[in-house]
């Protein structure tokens, strides 16, 4: 019996698990990079600091945790409910990838060319009263300051290939939860340490971080568009053959 097993060669299960792990890591990193690029928590942390300048350090840490949790929930809703909503309105996955990728690429291009500033823009920032700050953790601090339309569209586009096959559904669900959790952790870390970032990173360091994240965002948007075009043109290529 042992000879027969040796003759049959190694079991496919030995190679299946590493392939699944590699795919998980690859998709988690891709989704995490895309969302972090468009959310830009380091740049937005300075806006968060200005909005919460009336708070103590302990209060700011509690608020940062609440905003991060809210962002986690919003991203999960976009990941899991975004595609069914698109189906309801008759929007194809190819159109979503092309349109969403274009929007992400444009956002990255705008970030590359926007004027340097603490928050990446010229929008005036008004501090929020300390007595009302916790009631405004969701709006405007979570939506749209942290998780805006661009990041929601990115989450939907990244998860547009979710299928009804159980194995694929489980895999994409794990990726969605992991990406949302990682993004929430980064938001919490950067927001809760916004004062330290302002002190040690400085203006020049913030500029460099924003430019690098903008370039990565541009590349990710182009990649999403290429995937959409590839899926759209594949049936046409098959017909020509």
Largest alpha-carbon pair distance within the chain? 77
Q: How many Å apart are CA 220 and CA 237, to the nearest integer? A: 25
Q: What is the mean pLDDT of each run of 10 residues along the chain (241 residues)?
A: 49 65 92 89 82 86 96 95 85 79 81 64 51 78 82 82 75 94 97 86 73 79 85 82 70
Output the pLDDT for position 184: 98
Output the pLDDT for position 151: 84
Instruction: Look at the block and give the residue holding tokens 């405007």.
Output: 140
Helices (H), the chain: 2-8, 13-39, 41-51, 57-88, 93-113, 149-158, 166-192, 194-200, 202-240
Output the pLDDT for position 234: 87
Q: Is 61 exposed, middle or buried (0-12, 13-18, 19+ CB in 10 A)?
A: middle
Tokens representing residue 166 in the block:
């159980």
Output the pLDDT for position 126: 54
């Amino acid at each position: 019996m042992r000879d027969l097993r040796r003759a049959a060669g190694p079991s496919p299960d030995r190679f299946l698990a590493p392939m699944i792990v590699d795919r998980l890591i690859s998709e988690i990193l891709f989704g995490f990079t895309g969302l972090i690029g468009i959310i830009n928590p380091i740049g937005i942390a300075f806006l968060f600091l200005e909005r919460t300048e009336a708070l103590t350090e302990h209060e700011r840490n509690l608020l940062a945790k609440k905003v991060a949790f809210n962002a986690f929930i919003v991203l999960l809703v976009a990941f899991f409910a975004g595609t069914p909503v698109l189906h309801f309105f008759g929007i194809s996955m190819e159109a979503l990838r092309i349109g969403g990728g274009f929007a992400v690429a444009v956002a990255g291009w705008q970030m590359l060319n926007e004027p340097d500033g603490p928050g990446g823009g010229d929008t005036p920032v008004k501090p929020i009263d300390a007595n009302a700050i916790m009631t405004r953790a969701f709006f405007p601090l979570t939506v749209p300051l942290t998780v805006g339309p661009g990041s929601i569209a990115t989450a939907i586009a990244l998860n547009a290939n979710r299928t009804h096959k159980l194995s694929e559904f489980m895999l994409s669900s794990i990726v969605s939860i992991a990406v949302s959790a990682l993004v929430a952790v980064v938001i919490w870390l950067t927001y809760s340490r916004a004062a330290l970032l302002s002190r040690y990173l400085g203006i020049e360091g913030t500029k460099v971080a924003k430019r690098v994240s903008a370039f990565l965002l541009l590349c990710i948007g182009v990649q999403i568009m290429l995937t959409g075009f590839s899926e759209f043109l594949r049936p046409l290529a098959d017909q020509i053959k």
